Amino acid sequence: MKIDITHNDLQQTKDHIFFIVGTSRSGSTLFQSMLSSHSKVVVPPETHYFHSKAVVDQAFERAQDKEQFCRGLIDFWYAHKTRMRDLGLDKQEVLQHAENLKLWSPIQLYILHLTMYRKERGKEILGEKTPLHILHIDEIMDAFPKARIISMFRDPRAASYSEIKAYFGSPSVLVTTGRWKRYVNIHFERAESLPRDSYMMMRYWELIQNTEEKLREVSELLDIAYEPQMLEYYKRDEKGFAKGETEWKKGTLKPLQKDKNKEWREGLENWQVALIENRAGHFLTKMGYEQSTEPLPFLKKWFFAGVDMMRSLWSTVTNSRDEGYHEPQDFVKAYNG
């Protein structure tokens, strides 16, 4: 085996892990790149682990042979295009470590993967970046009581435009803004319920306009010293994203583009902007963004809402924006079958 893994290494990962959550297309990959440029920190590709955790855990609890179940889960992760395989680890090494350390539960295998990724890169602290995990903060805190949470948000108009451009994102501004609104509401709830030393919110415009100041705040949250090389993230060796994601994440291989957050002004139609601002409601100003256009008349609003939702329906029917990942639910169905 290339690296040694001990129970202390697994505990190190658990004790110092942090999670980057929030809305998609909100600058989390840029943020990931900056943090991974720190001498002590690494943030691997997205795992989406907690999105399927409940389903996998239920099947695991029903399994008569726990070890066999976990071996099957590992086989599934590495036999298909999965998020866990995106970490680029060696399957045989994973199995060997699991056997040596008796790690026969899904959460233990998850921590093992994160620890192997961290140790292979000689880092002390691991961050997990999956924006969708904002829906699973309770589960995260149950599994990692010492975890720090950083939620990232972007102007919903900029986020919608970015998602429309990405081949995997929703083409509907009503869908993307509805999701944004839901996640913003979760943010305000978590800001009230979680201690300040375990939760913070980062807005994309703050990160690109006040980069050093925000990175210093994050460094304080993570209890690490600020390092200037985080500003030169584009020189990093550790890319932090899967091979197939280069096309839409290549912007993190360049210096900061501070006008990036304004592209929506020319890229979106006026009716799209109006729909976004109407759907976002009071959360738009509550998050510090200004309304930019007049509301649509009643009939026009419903007409364009129909046009927008037809785009979403078409992409669903044609499956045109599917990234091709196999989900753990597929493994559970096969295992139960």
| Residue 21, both tokens | 């959550």
DSSP one-letter code for 281: T
Summarize the confidence of residues 136-145 as an average pLDDT.
97
Domains located in the chain, CATH noted: 7-155+179-259 (3.40.50.300)
Share of the chain above pLDDT 90, in %: 80
Q: What is the pTM of this model?
A: 0.93
The dihedrals phi and psi of 85, each to the nearest 5 degrees, come to -65, -25
Band (24; pLDDT cuts 50, 70, 90): confident
pLDDT at 248 over 60: no
Do the Cβ atoms of 66 and 105 come closer than 8 Å? yes
Length of the chain: 337
pLDDT at 102 over 70: yes
| Residue 4, both tokens | 């040694």
Band (210; pLDDT cuts 50, 70, 90): very high
Give me the pLDDT at residue 75, please: 97
- Tell me if residue 129 falls in helix, strand or coil: strand
Q: What is the pLDDT of residues 177-187, one digit of tens each?
A: 999 999 999 99
pLDDT at 115 over 60: yes
**CA–CA dist 64, 99 (Å, integer):** 18
E strand or H helix that includes residue 125: strand 125-129
Query: Rg (Cα) of the chain, in Å, rounded?
Result: 21
Q: Which of 254, 231, 236, 1 is nearest to 123 (CA)?
A: 236
The dihedrals phi and psi of 225, each to the nearest 5 degrees, come to -75, 140
Band (25; pLDDT cuts 50, 70, 90): confident
**Average confidence score pLDDT of the chain:** 92
pLDDT at 107 over 60: yes
Summarize the confidence of residues 305-332 as an average pLDDT.
86
- Give all strands (DSSP E) within 134-278, no chain letters: 148-153, 199-203
